[in-house]
């Protein structure tokens, strides 16, 4: 269900009536019809006040998801639809918050879903309680105890495929926070007769089938078992396989659960060996043999089974064989040994099998308790969960049904008493007058059964202990004598004449009128089942076993501890257990879950009215409703009541300004509800009749419809106005855009027309000009051609004349040229030697330069800026040129190398360059830092979950994060701190917790001082009077001093536009609070290696010894 859809009241969207207290009219038919209506709509839970009625749906429903757990967590009991989670949450919160021990009583007949209900309660409590490795282990052990007990204590019956054949009460222990510490399990009346005999259509206990189906062949071989069910007499074959049940998978689940609960491997092996021995006991058969004295004696037919049992249990075969054939009776100093006939031998075999399995089951419960018990001895809160048989009425009812129904009588008695007590306490708490409620008190029935003198159990014990011939008939005769006059006891053999002709009551039966109806019990088997006798010879044989577990199960077999007293009977033991249980339940706040089975077919969607009616009667649900509504049928706190019904009154709607009680009084007066129909308590309003509540609900429903109509009207008006305004706004926008578009379109058309007109005019002008130019060109070309012809004629004439003159002058020119050449050569010979040297020098110099450059090209060094190689100078006159070329080449290759750098690399080299300028030849530590890259974030705060708190506290980008040592002026000792440098601040934080100790703005840092030696000490000086300077300057030590000082210098310069003063001196002053302390660095040998140490000399001097 989505969060918006969560119900806020039990009455919202109610299918039928969610709380039977509000059912009107209250009859058995209306009760059943209401349950059926809710069942048909998959509503399997219904309330009777604080009691939960649970109907088994026989199918999976999506109402147990983790989302449902969260929905019912910490919610009021009546706030949501009826659910088992609501009761579980109410019980858990009462235990945790109000320190009240709780118990949850789950009752109902077999197949009604009691076991599943107890699992749901435990799973809900496990889901809502605390978390943690230890708590989760306790929860897992508590939950995993269920599969183990179900395997050994549950069986398939005609009514239920997983029927609990024992009663279980678990006390879950919690600490003061509500976290589980452990638990204690008590078991009641295991149906051990099922081990040797099962009714038709039913199975033995699950564990027998699980071992044979799921164990490996090697494991079966060790247990001397075979996989075939038909090999074992104790296993019924007609229903060995159950549809939908995987015995092999369940066996693996059981073994895993035993491991989780804490069973050791050898203990698990021992348990399965005992189970195998019980299974094989059923295969031992006897044959009669006549002795000389004429008495019959029993002998074992096939001794192979006996041999294998003895090998499993470590018992001497002859000892066990004798125990099956003879019985020894001891009386004071006498021993009498008698033989057993075949019938007695079979009785002894079955008694041993039943006792062996019953004691194994009790040992399992004890062993589980050892594992899940609380380890601490602190005061514990307790929540008990009781999962026990419901009232049983079969065609044939025997001793087991008598004991079970007695237990249910006691539970009904305590249920009525505690329900009335709870009602009375609430009335007194709220100041409401308590009126006496008439109800049927079943104490008279409990007294009929458990009275120490005249009770049926006391008569049965007395008959079992009486010497002489004791039979079931003698027991019935005794009952007829003692109980004949009791109004709830009926027997045809009694003195009461009204039953003499009652043919529905056989002679060998008696009938008890229980609170749930009349039940007829067949007296056959009462004495034997109450005796539950195991021959002492078999007990002693079991004690002699070398098998550790079997030996521990039969302590009475120890000859040194022989007790001649008769062991307590089954009835007296169960009576004592029930008394202990009742005493335990009365100390706790009870919570009830009544489980109902809708049909006998174990099928979904089938609701058998007659079967449900039968269960309603014997569970006393109608009686419960009458008790709850005898005073006031409904009660509710004032706040939720006013919140739910305030719309019914104008004075309280929509908001009531005042106490909630006053608002409820105004509301009820306005509605004119009769005063006798309600009462005002201290914190709640009490409504007497459900009709009044339903009237309020009808008025509320009508008012909600009116409010919904009003809201719908207002919403529609708002929606229409909003749509109109939106359309109006859209129309204005569309109109403006259309006008803009129309004007743009008009402008484009005008512009296009103007361009076309312009193009036509320009074309016309161009063509006109072209025609004029062509005409002018033709005129010019004609004149030019004429002029050219004329000039050509003139030129040809002049050429002919010049050629003639040239021929005449050529001879003179040639002669003159030769003469001039002769004169020049004669003059040049005078100056030839003086000019030749200079020309040769210039030529030689040019060749040498050419050779030099060609050689330089081939001898060029590498492009690495750190390569200092350079070719040797070949000629002295090239010295300046050689040096200039070297300088130019170095600058060029440096530029080339720099162009390859990324921005990040440039920043690193800029920092390295800055460090060089600050510390080169000044700080002895500097050369060692040159080869180390500046990383900055040494701690990786963003990735380390340890520093998540510190990361969340720092919003700025972290430039450097490093662990430094902060020097204490008092003793010179160092404390680890995390040093953080951001764009605006310097921070010091605790290394373990991540808490920020100091935060200094960069503007308050005035100077950084350090020594010139090879140490990592430095002082951060703060501006006097600043907020950060209250405790004085910081004296720190770091392994990355050069990097930290450089980054601090560059960041300060970037943010404040001022250079940070870096003082390098072997002696400087540091301000500590109001005092100035001198820090002096000296050379000295160290005991702890090469690590500088700081010592306090006096109040004004700290001395740092540097190796």
Say how far apart CA 543 and CA 275 lie, in whole Å: 17
**Does the pLDDT at position 436 exceed 90?**
no
Q: What letter does residue 986 receive in the DSSP assignment?
A: E
375: pLDDT strictly greater than 80: no
Q: What pLDDT, on the 0 to 100 scale, is given for residue 563?
A: 63
Q: Tell me how far apart the alpha carbons of residues 98 and 796 are, in angstroms, rounded to a whole number.
A: 141
- The two beta strands, 102-107 and 589-596, are parallel
157, 163, 692, 929: which one is catalytic? 163
Residues 6+ apart with CB under 8 A from 1071: 1021, 1022, 1024, 1029, 1032, 1033, 1077
What integer pLDDT is reported at residue 609 of this predicted model? Answer: 92
Q: Which of 49, 390, 571, 994 is catalytic?
A: 390
Q: Which of 46, 54, 110, 442 is catalytic?
A: 110
Gap between the Cα atoms of 870 and 852, Å rounded = 14
Task: Give phi and psi for 316, each to the nearest 5.
Answer: -65, 130
Peptide bond into 654 cis (omega under 30): yes
Choose, from 81, 160, 193, 442, the residue flagged as catalytic: 160
Per-residue pLDDT tens for 1012-1061? Answer: 888 888 999 988 877 777 778 888 898 888 888 888 888 888 888 888 88
Four-CA torsion 347, 353, 358, 359, nearest 10 degrees: 110
Sheet containing 102-107, strands listed edge to edge, beginning at the edge strand earlier in sequence: 45-48, 51-55, 589-596, 102-107, 381-387, 167-174, 180-188
Higher pLDDT pick, 235 / 821? 235
- Tokens found for residue 349: 């075999």
Question: How high does pLDDT run on average in the chain?
Answer: 83
Q: Is the pLDDT of residue 890 over 90?
A: no
- 504 belongs to the catalytic site: no
Q: Is 837 a catalytic residue?
A: no
Q: Where are the beta strands (DSSP E) in 497-536?
A: 509-514, 517-522
For residues 459 and 432, which has the higher predicted lDDT (pLDDT)?
A: 459
Q: What is the dihedral of CA 996, 1001, 1006, 1007, to 10 degrees?
A: 40
Q: What is the mean pLDDT of residues 376-393?
A: 79
The DSSP result for 1013-1049, as a single string, is: SS--EEEEEE-TTSGGGGSB-EEEE-TTHHHHHHHHH
Please tell me what DSSP assigns to residue 19.
B
Name residues whose C-beta falls within 8 Å of residue 545's C-beta, 6 or more positions apart in sequence.
Answer: 313, 314, 315, 551
b/e code 185-217 from CB counts within 10 Å (16+ = b): bbbbbbbbbbbbebeeebbbbbbbbbbbbbbee
| Tally of CA atoms within 13 A in the half-sphere of 233 that contains its CB | 14
Residue range 43-52, pLDDT digits in tens: 999 988 788 9
Query: From the centroid of its chain, how far is CA 545?
Result: 48
Give the HSE-up count for residue 408: Cα atoms under 13 Å, Cβ half-sphere: 25
User: What's residue 6's pLDDT?
Assistant: 41
Contact predicate 173/180, CB 8 Å = yes
Q: Of the residues 16, 49, 111, 182, which is catalytic?
A: 111
CA distance 928 to 1062: 19
Q: Beta strand 974-982 with 985-990: parallel, antiparallel or unpaired?
A: antiparallel
| Token reading at 180 | 């589980």
Omega before 477 within 30 of 0, i.e. cis: no
- Mapped onto helix, strand or coil, the DSSP state of residue 157 is coil
pLDDT at 415: 77
Mapping DSSP to helix (H, G, I), strand (E, B) and coil, where does residue 854 land? helix
Helix (H) or strand (E) holding 975, with range, is strand 974-982
Strand 381-387 relative to strand 517-522, pairing:
unpaired
Whether residue 388 contacts residue 165, with contact meaning beta carbons closer than 8 Å, is answered with no
Residues pairing with 326 in the sheet: 339
Residues in the chain: 1107
Residue in the block written with tokens 């926008």: 733
Residue located via tokens 């350090």: 1010
Chain centre to alpha carbon of residue 689: 45
DSSP secondary structure code for residue 641 in this structure: H
Residue where the block lists tokens 């300004």: 657
More confident residue, 202 or 692: 202
How crowded is residue 731: how many other Cβ atoms within 10 Å of its Cβ? 10
Task: Give the pLDDT band of residue 5 (cuts 50, 70, 90).
Answer: very low
List the one residue out of 1082, 1064, 1076, 1083 whose CA is nearest residue 1101. 1076
- 1089 catalytically annotated: no
Q: What's the mean pLDDT in 921-943?
A: 80
pLDDT digits (tens, 9 = 90+) for 836-864: 667 777 778 888 888 888 888 888 888 88
Phi, psi of 130 (to 5 degrees): -65, 170
pLDDT tens figures, 990-1004? 888 888 888 889 888
Distance between CA atoms of residues 524 and 482, nearest Å: 19
Burial class (CB in 10 A: 0-12, 13-18, 19+), 815: exposed
Q: How confident is the model at residue 775 (pLDDT cuts 50, 70, 90)?
A: very high
282-339 residue pLDDT tens: 999 988 887 656 567 888 888 888 899 899 888 988 888 888 888 877 655 667 778 8
Who's near 130: CB < 8 A, 6+ residues apart?
A: 177, 178, 179
β-bridge partners, 637: 684
Query: End-to-end alpha-carbon separation of the chain, Å?
Result: 74
- Residue 134 designated active-site: no
Of 11-15, 59-63, 599-603, 833-837, the range with the lowest mean pLDDT is: 833-837
Contact 1058, 1068 (CB under 8 A): no
Q: Of the ranges 8-12, 65-69, 325-329, which one carries the lowest mean pLDDT score?
A: 8-12
Residue 858, Ramachandran bin (φ over 0: left; ψ between -120 and 50: alpha; else beta): alpha
Nearest to 486 by CA among 474, 494, 477, 478: 494
Q: Which pLDDT belongs to residue 670? A: 82
Distance CA 81, CA 6 (A): 10
Residues ≥6 apart with Cβ < 8 Å to 306: 284, 300, 317, 320, 321
Q: Which residue among the candidates 81, 107, 164, 965 is catalytic per the annotation?
A: 164
Concatenating the DSSP letter of every residue in 384-440 gives: EEEE-------SSB-HHHHHHHHHHHHHHHHHHHHHHHHHHHHHHHHTPPP------
Give the Cβ contact number of residue 38 at 10 Å: 22
Q: Among candidates 254, 255, 300, which has minimal Cα distance to 281?
A: 300
pLDDT band at 3 (very low <50, low <70, confident <90, very high): very low
Long-range Cβ contacts of 853-857 (<8 Å, 24+ apart)? 856/885
Question: What tokens appear for 509 in the block?
Answer: 């039966």
Active site annotation includes 160:
yes
| Residue 497 clears pLDDT 50, i.e. is over it | no
Distance (Å) of CA 1043 to CA 86, 957, 960 = 64, 17, 9
Sign of CA dihedral 480, 485, 489, 494: positive
Q: How far apart are CA 484 and CA 471, in angstroms?
A: 19
* Closest CA relative to residue 508, chosen from 491, 486, 528: 491
Which is catalytic among the residues 46, 54, 115, 589?
115
Q: What are phi and psi of 954, to 5 degrees?
A: -105, 115
Cα 470 to Cα 462: distance, rounded to the nearest angstrom? 10
Catalytic (active site) residue 164? yes
Q: Is 163 a catalytic site residue?
A: yes
3-class SS string, 442-468: CHHHHHHHHCCCCCHHHHHHHHHHCCC
Q: Phi/psi class of residue 554: alpha, beta or left (left: φ > 0; alpha: ψ in -120 to 50)? A: beta
In the three-class reduction of DSSP (H, G, I as helix; E, B as strand; rest coil), residue 515 is classed as coil
Q: Residues of the chain with pLDDT > 90: what percent?
A: 16
598-657 confidence digits (pLDDT tens): 998 888 889 999 989 988 887 778 877 877 766 666 777 888 888 888 888 888 888 888
Radius of gyration of the chain (CA): 55
Contact between residue 496 and residue 487 where contact means Cβ atoms under 8 Å apart: no
**Does residue 201 have an active-site annotation?**
no
């Amino acid at each position: 269900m989505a969060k918006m859809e969560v119900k806020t009241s039990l009455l919202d969207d109610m299918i039928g009536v969610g709380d039977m207290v509000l059912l009107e009219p209250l009859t058995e038919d209306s009760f059943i019809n209401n349950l059926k209506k809710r069942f048909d709509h998959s509503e399997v839970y219904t309330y009777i006040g604080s009691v939960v009625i649970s109907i088994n749906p026989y199918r999976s429903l999506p109402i147990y998801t983790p989302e449902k757990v969260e929905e019912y967590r910490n919610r009021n009991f009546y706030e949501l639809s009826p659910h088992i989670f609501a009761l579980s949450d109410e019980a858990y919160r009462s235990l945790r918050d109000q320190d009240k021990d709780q118990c949850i009583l789950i009752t109902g007949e077999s197949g009604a879903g009691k076991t599943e209900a107890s699992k749901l309660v435990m799973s809900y409590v496990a889901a809502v309680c605390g978390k943690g490795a230890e708590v989760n282990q306790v929860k897992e052990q508590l939950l995993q105890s269920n599969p183990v007990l179900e395997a050994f204590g549950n069986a398939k019956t005609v009514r239920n495929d997983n029927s609990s054949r024992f009663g279980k009460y678990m006390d879950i222990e919690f600490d003061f926070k509500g976290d589980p510490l452990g638990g204690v399990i008590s078991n009641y009346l295991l149906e051990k007769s099922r081990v040797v005999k099962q009714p038709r259509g039913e199975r033995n206990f699950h564990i027998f089938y699980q071992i044979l189906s799921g164990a490996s062949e090697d494991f079966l071989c060790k247990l001397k078992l075979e996989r075939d069910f038909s090999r074992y007499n104790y296993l019924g074959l007609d229903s060995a396989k159950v549809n939908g049940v995987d015995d092999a998978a369940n066996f693996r689940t059981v073994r895993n659960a035993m491991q989780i609960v804490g069973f050791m491997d050898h203990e698990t092996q021992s348990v399965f060996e005992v189970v195998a021995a019980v299974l094989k006991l059923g295969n031992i058969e006897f044959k009669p043999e006549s002795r000389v004295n004429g008495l019959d004696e029993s002998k074992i037919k096939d001794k192979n089974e006996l041999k294998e049992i003895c090998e499993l249990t470590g018992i001497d075969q002859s000892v066990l064989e004798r125990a099956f054939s003879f019985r020894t009776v001891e009386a004071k100093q006498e021993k009498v040994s008698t033989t057993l006939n075949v019938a007695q031998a079979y009785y002894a075999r079955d008694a041993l099998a039943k006792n062996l399995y019953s004691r194994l089951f009790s040992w399992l419960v004890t062993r589980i308790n050892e594992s899940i018990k609380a380890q601490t001895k602190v005061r514990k809160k307790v929540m008990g969960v009781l999962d026990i048989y419901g009232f049983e009425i079969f065609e044939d009812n025997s001793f087991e049904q008598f004991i079970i129904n007695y237990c249910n009588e006691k539970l009904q008695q305590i249920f009525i008493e505690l329900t009335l007590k709870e009602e009375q306490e609430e009335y007194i708490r709220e100041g409401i007058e308590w009126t006496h409620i008439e109800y049927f008190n079943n104490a008279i029935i409990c007294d009929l059964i458990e009275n120490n003198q005249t009770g049926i159990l006391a008569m049965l014990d007395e008959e079992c202990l009486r010497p002489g011939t004791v039979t079931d008939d003698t027991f019935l005769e005794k009952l007829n004598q003692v109980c004949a006059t009791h109004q709830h006891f009926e027997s045809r053999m009694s003195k009461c004449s009204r039953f003499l002709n009652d043919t529905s009551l056989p002679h060998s039966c008696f009938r008890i009128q229980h609170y749930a109806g009349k039940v007829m019990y067949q007296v056959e088997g009462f004495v034997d089942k109450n005796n539950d006798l195991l021959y002492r010879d078999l007990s002693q044989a079991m004690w002699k076993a070398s098998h550790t577990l079997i030996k521990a199960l039969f302590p009475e077999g120890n000859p040194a501890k022989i007790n001649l007293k008769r062991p307590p009977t089954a009835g007296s033991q169960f009576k004592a257990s029930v008394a202990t249980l009742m005493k335990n339940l009365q100390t706790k706040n009870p919570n009830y879950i009544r489980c109902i089975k809708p049909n006998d077919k174990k099928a979904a969607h089938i609701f058998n009215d007659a079967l449900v009616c039968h269960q309603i009667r014997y569970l006393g649900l109608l009686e419960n409703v009458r008790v709850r509504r005898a005073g006031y049928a409904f009660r509710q706190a004032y706040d939720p009541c006013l919140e739910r019904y305030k719309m019914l009154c104008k004075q309280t709607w929509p908001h009531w300004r005042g106490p909630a009680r006053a608002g409820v009084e105004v509301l009820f007066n306005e509605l004119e509800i009769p005063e006798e129909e309600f009462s005002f308590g201290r914190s709640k309003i009490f409504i007497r009749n459900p009709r009044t509540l339903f009237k309020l609900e009808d008025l509320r429903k009508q008012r909600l419809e009116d409010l919904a109509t009003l809201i719908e009207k207002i919403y529609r008006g708002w929606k229409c106005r909003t749509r109109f305004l939106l359309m109006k706004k859209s129309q204005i926008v569309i109109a403006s855009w259309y006008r803009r578009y129309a004007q743009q379109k008009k402008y484009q058309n005008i512009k296009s027309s103007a361009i076309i007109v312009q193009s036509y005019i320009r074309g016309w002008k161009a063509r006109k000009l072209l025609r004029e130019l062509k005409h002018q060109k033709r005129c010019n070309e004609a004149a030019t051609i004429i002029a050219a012809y004329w000039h050509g004629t003139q030129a040809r004439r002049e050429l002919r004349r010049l050629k003639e003159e040239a021929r005449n002058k050529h001879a003179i020119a040639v002669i003159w040229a030769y003469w001039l050449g002769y004169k020049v050569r004669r003059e040049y010979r005078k100056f030839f030697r003086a000019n030749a040297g200079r020309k040769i020098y210039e030529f030689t110099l040019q060749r040498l330069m050419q050779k030099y450059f060609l050689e330089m090209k081939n001898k060029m060094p590498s492009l690495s800026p750190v390569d200092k190689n350079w070719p040797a100078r070949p000629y002295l006159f090239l010295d300046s040129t050689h040096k200039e070329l070297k300088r130019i080449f170095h600058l060029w290759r440096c530029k080339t190398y720099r162009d390859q750098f990324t921005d990040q690399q440039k920043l690193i080299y800029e920092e390295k360059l800055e460090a060089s300028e600050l510390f080169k030849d000044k700080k002895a530590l500097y050369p060692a830092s040159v080869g180390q890259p500046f990383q900055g974030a040494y701690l990786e705060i963003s990735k380390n979950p340890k520093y998540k708190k510190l990361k969340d506290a720092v919003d700025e980008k972290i430039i450097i994060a490093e662990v430094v040592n902060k020097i204490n002026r008092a003793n010179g000792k160092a404390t680890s701190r995390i040093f953080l440098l951001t764009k605006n601040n310097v921070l010091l934080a605790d290394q373990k917790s991540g808490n920020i100790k100091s935060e200094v703005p960069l503007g308050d840092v005035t100077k950084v001082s350090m020594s010139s030696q090879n140490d990592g000490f430095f002082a951060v000086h703060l501006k006097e009077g600043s907020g950060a300077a209250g405790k004085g300057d910081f004296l720190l030590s770091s392994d990355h001093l050069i990097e930290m000082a450089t980054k601090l210098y560059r960041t300060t310069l970037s943010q404040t536009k001022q250079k940070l003063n870096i003082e390098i001196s072997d002696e400087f002053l540091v301000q500590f609070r109001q005092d100035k302390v001198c820090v002096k660095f000296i050379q000295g040998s160290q005991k702890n290696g090469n690590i500088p140490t700081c010592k306090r000399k006096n109040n004004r001097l700290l001395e740092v010894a540097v190796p």
